[in-house]
């Protein structure tokens, strides 16, 4: 759901940069602190960024000056938190803009806000709410990935509406952008939810410590 270079007016580019930058700076501060205290963590953090790059490179064109793709930020938000995800998403978005013409530099603030902040924040809250309610890892991950994807797309539609809705009316434009996005994004969000649910199940079975789970009896016995 990257908005392409040159698509937003400069005023909105500035607004989204101002909103996104403090959270990215907080993420930088947090990651710098983690790396200084535990240098061995830097490879894992870098690979998480690379994993987001891999997932968000699988894009489908959407009829809105943007594209539809899995975000992968739901998983990152669950594992590392929102501000770290915002920072990793920033790096990924810069590389995608420079190397793959996917997204843009002037629209970076808007893309960071939708894909790196709003979606991961929603995923983070859903995941923690469901886990506190003793819901299993695969179901919690399904809803976290689904909500991260849907919130990212709603925020992108909102950003496009704010930029282009003054001629037709904001309500009409929002409905137009939402419905056009929905054609690709709602099925994609469910597919991403199902895939990440399976992903979480495999991961909980093979590396339970990642989710803070106890290893299964036979693994514990063999350990």
Residues of this chain that interact with other proteins (CB under 8 A) are 4-7, 9-10, 13, 28, 31-32, 35-36, 39-40, 42-47, 49-51, 53-55, 57, 59, 61-67, 88, 91-92, 95, 97-102, 104-106, 164, 167-168, 172-173, 175-176, 179-180, 191, 194-199, 202-203, 206-207
Tell me the closest approach of the beta carbon of residue 90 to other proteins, in angstroms. Answer: 10
By C-beta, is 32 or 129 nearer to other proteins? 32
Chain centre to alpha carbon of residue 34: 21
User: 3-class SS at 2?
Assistant: coil
Q: Which two tokens stand for residue 34?
A: 């983690």
* C-alpha span between 142 and 60 (Å, rounded): 21
* C-alpha span between 26 and 155 (Å, rounded): 21
Q: What are phi and psi of 135, to 5 degrees?
A: -80, 145
Tell me the closest approach of the beta carbon of residue 164 to other proteins, in angstroms. Answer: 6
Tell me the closest approach of the beta carbon of residue 202 to other proteins, in angstroms. Answer: 4
By C-beta, is 54 or 220 nearer to other proteins? 54
Tell me the closest approach of the beta carbon of residue 127 to other proteins, in angstroms. Answer: 17
E strand residue ranges, 44-173:
60-62, 66-68
* C-alpha span between 4 and 25 (Å, rounded): 23
Q: Which residue has the tokens 């809803």?
A: 143
By C-beta, is 46 or 129 nearer to other proteins? 46
By C-beta, is 63 or 220 nearer to other proteins? 63
| Residue pair 153/3 in contact by the 8 Å Cβ criterion | no
Residue 198: Cβ within 10 Å count: 13
Instruction: Count CA atoms closer than 13 A to 198's CA, side-chain side.
Output: 5
Tell me the closest approach of the beta carbon of residue 213 to other proteins, in angstroms. Answer: 16
First to last CA, the chain: 44
Q: Which residue has the tokens 């979480």?
A: 200
By C-beta, is 202 or 219 nearer to other proteins? 202
Tell me the closest approach of the beta carbon of residue 220 to other proteins, in angstroms. Answer: 20
By C-beta, is 82 or 184 nearer to other proteins? 184
């Amino acid at each position: 759901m990257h908005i392409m270079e040159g698509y937003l007016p400069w005023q909105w580019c500035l607004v989204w940069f101002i909103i996104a930058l403090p959270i990215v700076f907080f993420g930088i501060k947090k990651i710098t602190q983690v790396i200084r205290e535990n240098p061995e963590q830097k490879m894992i953090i870098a690979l998480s960024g690379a994993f987001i790059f891999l997932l968000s490179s699988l894009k489908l064109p959407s009829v809105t000056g943007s594209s539809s793709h899995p975000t992968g930020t739901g998983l990152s938000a669950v594992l590392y938190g929102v501000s770290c995800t915002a920072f990793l998403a920033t790096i990924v978005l810069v590389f995608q803009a420079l190397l793959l013409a996917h997204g843009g530099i002037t629209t970076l603030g808007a893309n960071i806000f939708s894909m790196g902040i709003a979606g991961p924040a929603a995923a983070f809250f859903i995941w923690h709410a469901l886990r506190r309610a003793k819901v299993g890892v695969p179901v919690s991950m399904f809803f976290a990935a689904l909500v991260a994807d849907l919130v990212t797309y709603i925020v992108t539609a909102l950003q496009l509406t704010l930029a282009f809705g003054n001629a037709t009316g904001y309500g009409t434009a929002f409905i137009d952008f939402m419905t056009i996005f929905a054609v690709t994004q709602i099925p994609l969000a469910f597919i991403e939810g199902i895939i990440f649910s399976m992903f979480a199940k495999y991961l909980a079975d093979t590396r339970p410590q990642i989710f803070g789970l106890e290893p299964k009896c036979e693994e514990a016995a063999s350990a």
